[in-house]
A and B are shown apart, each in its own frame.
Chain A
Amino acid sequence: MTGPIPVTLIGGYLGAGKTTLVNSLLRNAGGRRLAVLVNEFGALPVDADLIVAREDNLISVSGGCICCSFGSDLVAALIDIRTRGRPIDHLLIETSGVALPGSIVQSVALLAGLAIDGVIVLADAETVEQRADDRYMSDTVRGQLAGADIIVLNKVDLVSSERAAAIARWLAEIAPGARVVPAEKAEIPAEIILGGPPDLRLIAPRLQPPRHRTADYETLNLELDGSVDAGKLGRILADPRLGLLRSKGFLRGSDGAFVTLHVVGRRSQVEPAPSWIDGPGRLICIGFAAEMDRAAILAAIRDWAPKTSL
């Protein structure tokens, strides 16, 4: 028995860097078989060197990943892609530039076998404020940002650091609870979006963003003995004051059975764990080194799982 396929929405207005982020994830999939649904095949939906084969609305990507266009009918494409019979570890939806992620989240929730993992919305540091005040697009752009679990504030290298900080503060106001991750060329560690590897013990204690550093990320790798209320723990880890971007855990629930906990920004979710999970409960938390409040995280976890060991 397998759990639902995690689904990540990648939203944001035109030109914010959605396609760049998708390509970066395809390059750093780390063995995961990603299925990417894009609204339309633009000039270059997938970098040419990644393409293995292309049919009408399906691109095969190296590493067992695929990319399909969905036009206006995302739900039909979600149904279709699973009837193709290809194994999928994680599904990415690159929305249209005017789509509101909130309504897509609700639609995905209607489909059996899929579970929303997180909503990533990109914002172009140079233009996002202007877009958010655009005569026509203001409510659409603000609605997109407000629906994000994580906002990737992209192209920060093109504005001053003061500017970037001011935009981040402004984003925190219009998207309360969402984490803001500054990035250049839409590069953020794939683990933040795709979650850790299936076995959490394999994850490196310290993540390096690919190629260049826009921020220092840090991980906490914990073992939790005994049982915890994973739902409550998830809600605690989603509290913005802890400064976490992504957490994943295999935890023993009150009935003794293992569950999987996913936390992406302010969103948390619990589902049955794969049957091969054994041993002590494990939890990994990823955040910015500068923002992560280790003491508060540990204190919060200890309240719920007293036998935590580092």
Chain B
Amino acid sequence: MIAAPKVIAVADHFGRMIDVLCNPFECIDRRILDHPPVRISLAMTTIYEARKVVTMNRSRPLATHVAVRDGRILGAGSLDELTGWGAYKLDRTFADKVLMPGLVEGHSHVAEGVQWRFVYCGYFDRTDPDGTTWPGLRSIEEVLARLSAANAGLSDPKQPLTGWALDPIYFDNRRVTREDLDRVTTTRPIGIMHASGHIMNVNTRALELAGLLRAGINHPGVPLGPDGLPTGEMKGPEVMTPIGPHVGLDRSLLASDEPGLRAFARLCVRKGVTTAADLANLLPKAAVEMMLRVSGEDSFPARIVSLRIARDISPAELIDRVIELRKSSSDRLRLGIVKVIVDGSIQGFSARLKPPGYYNGAPNGLWYVAPEQLREIFERALAAGIQVHSHTNGDEATELVLDTLELALRNNPSPDHRFTLQHCQLANAAQFRRMRSLGMCVNLFPNHHFYWGDQHYALTVGPERAERMNACATALASGVPMAIHSDAPVTPLGPLFTAWCAVNRLTASGRILGTQERISVADALRTITLGAAYTLGLDGEVGSIECGKHADFAVLEDDPTEIGGEHLKDVRIWGTVQGGRIFAAATI
């Protein structure tokens, strides 16, 4: 005869209370027989005490305690209120911390985790997944010094030296040349990716290996020096691809791999992020299996929403594939959303702009999809209940998406489709009003103001449109559900930094770019939690601290609601709680 264990409560895998039992075995047996897939667990209630809980729940915005059981929130409130849930353990780990809903990054790329295998050459300080902060490099000399140090650490003379995040815009726009990099080494190939991801600098050895150290090259992406040979600056993906494998930037490396995914998730913990969108993945079978396995590990600290990019296959096959992907989702790997790239980038002059076009007179950019293809993808996705996120940078690209969705919705009325415009940097007020009418969401890119706002003002779109870019205040005033994003690794992952950008709209030189488009701290904090969650269809599960949602928290040393908008980026982050599991940045 086995003694029945004392059972306080039983919850199913959604965290719902099933029963308080007198005869647990009989009940469990019955339920297992009736519902074999349901996992019955003996769950423990933990009540976390905090200095402050900022809930994003309108009816209960602040609390001192939050109760968690089996990865779900039972409630936020006072200790007294929460003890009604039954036996509990009081956890005072966060007694002097501020809890927010786990931050949601609505547009990043898991490849951020891969970049850190390379030498960081950026102008701004940046923290790697291990927590080391690499000081920004303020001159070409400093870049060369860091590269030389890395070069000295490599023993294999043929191994390429690879760097990333270079931004010569900040070096008085003096172009980096192969002669500069040759001072580091002439025997080993060097390749340094720019921060924009659109340009690469290489040394002479790399050009030799790629067969490009020759006269007579006639390509706008390959500037030539006075000697008629390439200067080593390679502009545009079609020019970078042939040389990439010679400098350690193989395409397969730039997609996510297992160590990259793990590194990315560690970075999420450091930034208070518990849910992050991986916005453009081909999601081949092997990658999905790897991501399911790794994200399913008990120690994996983030929820990844990975979008299938529309590429390689026809719209019909694409939607079929995404329907299948959706079925294979797990709690920490969400699949089943489509990403379409409509145009290029503003700083690369490949975004599609409405008249009068680029400020410096550059010709209009490129389309990456034809209207008929976009229409077919939209129609099929709406019919199947699949969400589509569309990358548009220029306002003409945004207009095409609005026109196309309007037509597609007539054939496929879908009250809650949440089709989302990603970047959408140049949208004007009329376009935001149309987004609202069509039920669209928008995910704007305020980090651009800080990193490239001065260039947008002076060169790409000119003063007026630079001030209107990423019009967060207009979006909110128009009632468009909004997220804001980093596009990591293009700019660093960090929703609180992105929120700071939206609140202050400062450029790197200190110019305020569009005073009227600044938003309040409260709106910004809501945007990096519930706002981003809404665009991913997850606002019912995450984005606020309230009864029934996942126990996903950002654990902060400072109070973002008190620190002041100008200091929002300086809020210190202790770590996260994800699905009720605690992850400290210091030990991740």
A residues with a Cβ closer than 8 A to B are 13-15, 40-43, 57, 69, 71-76, 79, 96-98, 100, 103-104, 106-107, 109-112, 134, 136-137, 139-140
Contact A72 B219 (CB under 8 A): no
Output the least CB separation between B407 and chain A (Å). Answer: 13
Contact A137 B239 (CB under 8 A): no
Output the least CB separation between A111 and chain B (Å). Answer: 6
A-B pairs with the 5 shortest C-beta distances?
A: A75-B241, A107-B238, A71-B312, A112-B211, A98-B367
Identity of the chain B residue whose Cβ is nearest the Cβ of A43 in the assembled complex: B314
In whole angstroms, how far apart are the Cα atoms of A131 and B317 in the complex?
26
15 examples of A-B residue contacts, CB within 8 angstroms: A13-B370, A14-B372, A40-B311, A40-B312, A41-B317, A57-B312, A71-B311, A79-B241, A97-B370, A97-B372, A97-B373, A106-B219, A110-B238, A136-B352, A140-B367
Output the least CB separation between A93 and chain B (Å). Answer: 12
Q: Could you give, for residues 202-243 of chain B, a 1 whenever the CB lies within 8 Å of some chain A CB and a 0 otherwise?
A: 000000000110000111111000000000000001110110
Is B131 among interface residues, defined by CB-CB distance under 8 A? Answer: no
* Known A-B contacts A76-B251, A109-B218; A98 and B312 likewise in contact (beta carbons under 8 Å): no
Question: A100 is contacted by which of B219, B366, B371 (Cβ under 8 Å)?
Answer: B366
Contact A109 B367 (CB under 8 A): no
Contact A74 B312 (CB under 8 A): no
Identity of the chain B residue whose Cβ is nearest the Cβ of A100 in the assembled complex: B366
Output the least CB separation between A64 and chain B (Å). Answer: 24
Contacts of B282 in A (CB 8 A): 71
**Additional pairs, 10, CB under 8 Å, beyond known A40-B311, A41-B313, A73-B237:** A14-B372, A69-B312, A72-B341, A97-B372, A98-B368, A106-B221, A110-B219, A136-B367, A136-B400, A140-B366
Is B396 among interface residues, defined by CB-CB distance under 8 A? Answer: yes
Contact B311 A111 (CB under 8 A): no
Is B369 among interface residues, defined by CB-CB distance under 8 A? Answer: yes
Question: B241 is contacted by which of A73, A96, A98 (Cβ under 8 Å)?
Answer: A73
Is B478 among interface residues, defined by CB-CB distance under 8 A? Answer: no
* Known A-B contacts A71-B312, A106-B218; A111 and B242 likewise in contact (beta carbons under 8 Å): yes
Question: B312 is contacted by which of A41, A79, A106, A136 (Cβ under 8 Å)?
Answer: A41
Contact A74 B364 (CB under 8 A): no
In whole angstroms, how far apart are the Cα atoms of A40 and B369 in the complex?
12
Question: A106 is contacted by which of B211, B220, B371 (Cβ under 8 Å)?
Answer: B220
In whole angstroms, how far apart are the Cα atoms of A139 and B364 in the complex?
9
In whole angstroms, how far apart are the Cα atoms of A300 and B480 in the complex?
68
Contacts of A110 in B (CB 8 A): 212, 217, 219, 222, 238-239, 242
Contact B311 A137 (CB under 8 A): no
Output the least CB separation between B586 and chain A (Å). Answer: 40
Contact B370 A74 (CB under 8 A): no
In whole angstroms, how far apart are the Cα atoms of A79 and B245 in the complex?
11
Contacts of B368 in A (CB 8 A): 72, 98
Output the least CB separation between B350 and chain A (Å). Answer: 10
On chain B, the number of residues with a Cβ less than 8 Å from chain A's Cβ atoms is: 35
**B residues 89-113 in Cβ contact with A at 8 Å:** none
Contact B369 A98 (CB under 8 A): yes
Is B22 among interface residues, defined by CB-CB distance under 8 A? Answer: no
Contact A14 B314 (CB under 8 A): no
Contacts of A72 in B (CB 8 A): 311, 341, 368
Contacts of B316 in A (CB 8 A): 43
Identity of the chain B residue whose Cβ is nearest the Cβ of A72 in the assembled complex: B311
Contacts of B317 in A (CB 8 A): 41
Output the least CB separation between B254 and chain A (Å). Answer: 11
Output the least CB separation between B587 and chain A (Å). Answer: 39
Contact B251 A73 (CB under 8 A): yes
Contacts of A107 in B (CB 8 A): 219, 238-239
Output the least CB separation between A302 and chain B (Å). Answer: 31
Q: Could you give, for residues 355-370 of chain B, a 1 whenever the CB lies within 8 Å of some chain A CB and a 0 otherwise?
A: 0000000001011111
In whole angstroms, how far apart are the Cα atoms of A15 and B282 in the complex?
26
Contact A137 B218 (CB under 8 A): no
Contacts of A137 in B (CB 8 A): 367, 370-371
**B residues 331-359 in Cβ contact with A at 8 Å:** 341, 352
Contacts of A71 in B (CB 8 A): 282, 311-312
In whole angstroms, how far apart are the Cα atoms of A71 and B211 in the complex?
25
* Known A-B contacts A109-B219, A110-B219; A103 and B238 likewise in contact (beta carbons under 8 Å): yes
Output the least CB separation between B399 and chain A (Å). Answer: 8
**Most chain B beta carbons < 10 A, residue from A14, A43, A72, A137:** A72
Output the least CB separation between B208 and chain A (Å). Answer: 12
Question: B314 is contacted by which of A15, A40, A100, A140 (Cβ under 8 Å)?
Answer: A40
Contacts of A40 in B (CB 8 A): 311-314
Contact B396 A136 (CB under 8 A): yes
Identity of the chain B residue whose Cβ is nearest the Cβ of A77 in the assembled complex: B241
Contacts of B314 in A (CB 8 A): 40-43
Contacts of A73 in B (CB 8 A): 237, 241, 251
Output the least CB separation between B377 and chain A (Å). Answer: 12
